[in-house]
Amino acid sequence: MRINQSDDFHFVKILKAGKTPIAMHHLTNKKEVHSTYLKMHRVVVLIRGGLVLKSEIDGNIEFHEGDILLLPKYANYISERRMDKEGNFEVISFLIPDVLVLEILQKRSTPIGKHQIDFLVPKEGVEKIVEGIQLQFNQKCHMSLENWGSMQFLIKNFLLQIPTLQFQSIFRDVDDRLLSYLETQKNRRTTIPQMALDLGQSTSSFYRSFRNRMGKAPAKWMREQRLYHARFYMMFTQKPISQISSELGYEDLSQFSKAFKKKFGYNPSEYHNNFHIVFD
């Protein structure tokens, strides 16, 4: 597709399997800088133009036309588009199911040390995936679940081409992504296996990494964080105790009160009455 440079153009197509978005085609002549917080693992294929990812951890990382990027969920970057010579930017991206990441990680259990992550991955195998996605985009932007199953087979073969250490460094960099992820989970009743899956790890690997990073088991740490947040809300907000309890994932107010008193020595109402700060 050719863009008329006199027009402000922004074209986005979403491909779904059932109700689940699985791929996106994005074509524009708008040069933008925006915050990128990924909720799913994805591969980004730069068709026209380039991309700069910026973060406090990795600095500025620049990618060019034709590059293939593998980005993990919960990666948090400022992204800046770089237009091609005609002033265009075009990408096709597709999602990586958690189950594929977990399966490969479980087969590649070699421990790794801390080192720079390289999101730029080999191109072998990605062409067939992009061709299949483009074919669906040219039809009705909907892929049958059967075809999506076949596509996942191609995606798995593509992922297997990525060197083990690079693959692990992308998906097992818990120190850089764990705190950001946990912040999104503090109000939810989530399980340790689900947390491990969300971060692209096996349960045992996640548990060991978490204890090494935080000094305690994941479940205990999450319980304590919820209580610390509850104490903050009681000190600095007007929220009712029942609302605080509910927002932090407690289904039973008495259970919350018991846990709060065990941690801080006061039941919630006593704490609120004695330590609440009123701002004029």
Q: What is the CATH number of the domain that holds 261?
A: 1.10.10.60
CB atoms within 10 A of CB 202: 17
In a domain, 110, yes or no: yes
Q: How many domains does the chain have?
A: 2
Do both 20 and 133 map to the same domain? yes
Do both 97 and 31 map to the same domain? yes
- Measuring CA to CA, which residue among 141, 126, 198 is closest to residue 20? 141
Do both 155 and 26 map to the same domain? yes
> Can you give the pLDDT at residue 98?
73
In a domain, 212, yes or no: no
CATH code of 133's domain: 2.60.120.10
Give tens-digit pLDDT for 41-87.
Answer: 899 999 999 999 887 666 788 999 999 999 887 676 788 999 999 99
In a domain, 149, yes or no: yes
In a domain, 103, yes or no: yes
Full residue range of the structural domain in which residue 247 is found = 220-275
Q: What percent of the chain has pLDDT over 90?
A: 22
The residues of the chain scoring below 70 in pLDDT are 1-7, 36-37, 39, 56-58, 74, 76, 106, 108-116, 172-188, 199-201, 213, 276-280
Do both 156 and 271 map to the same domain? no
Do both 44 and 137 map to the same domain? yes
The C-alpha angle with vertex 104 and arms to 98 and 106, in degrees rounded to 5, equals 100
